[in-house]
Structure formats: C-alpha cells, structure tokens
Amino acid sequence: DCRQYTNKSCEECLKNVTCLWCASSRRCVEYPIRRVLPPADLCELRSARWGVCWVNFEALIIAMSVVGGTILIMLGVCCCCCCCKKKSKKQVLEGPDKDEERAAREREKRRVRQEERRAEMKSRHDEIRRKYGTV
C-alpha cells in the first residue's frame, strides 16, 4: 500500500512503481491508472512525481511535447527531401519536361532563321561583287 510511505521520502515512495509522490503535501498515493495524468484534486502536476523524484509531470509534459514536435518536424523535412529527390530522379529518367522541350524548339527555330539570313546575305554580297566585278 502506497499510503504507508506518506510523510517519508520521495525515493522510498517511488520504489513501488504503482505509487505517486505529491511533493507539496508529502503524500504517497496510488497512481490513478485509469487516467493518463493525475487529477488536480489528488495532486497538482508541478508537485506530482512518478518514476523518478527529479522530474515533475509538468516538466515531463513540456519535454515530451518538445521532443514529439521535433520528431514530427524532422519527419516532415525528411518526407519533403525524399519527395524532391524522387521527383528529380523521375525527371532525369523521363527526360526533359515541356518547358525545356519548348525552349529547345525555339532555339532551333532561331538557329534556322539565322542560317537563312546568313545565306541570303552571302548571296547579296556575291551579287554585288559580280555587279562591280570584284569577284
């Protein structure tokens, strides 16, 4: 029975894992296993100790929230990184996308037009040379 450790030390109370130590009232009580957190009428969260004497429930909840949030953020970042890698690998395997294909077609059209202009200019120059006899 946990009540026998009331008004003794936290360490003695918590040797039994079913006990909860309330530091403010120096009581040792049965942990309410049907509830995750002990009710306020039993003991305040900042005074409640379970498992070890140096951590209260309030600090435990805050620490677990921070650790859990950090893990969730890291998982999210990892998922994003994996998706980006898969997308880039998929683009490499599938070849260039539509924007790249359109840009390549435009470059080719410009190259062809430039070749036509060069040929036209060459024929004009040749015609002028023939006209003035500098050929």
State the pLDDT at residue 60: 86
Take residue 59 and report the two structure tokens written for it: 């600090």
State the pLDDT at residue 95: 59
CB–CB of 15/41 below 8 Å?
no
Specify the pTM. 0.54
Chain-centroid distance of CA 135 in Å reads 73
State the pLDDT at residue 107: 94
Question: Could you state, in chain order, the average pLDDT of each consecutive group of 10 residues for the chain (135 residues)?
Answer: 89 91 92 85 90 88 94 95 76 66 92 96 92 78
Closest CA to 61 of 69, 10, 53, 15: 69
Encoded amino acid at 125, one letter: H
State the pLDDT at residue 96: 59
Report phi then psi at 20, rounded to 5.
-125, 130
State the pLDDT at residue 19: 92
Chain-centroid distance of CA 41 in Å reads 39
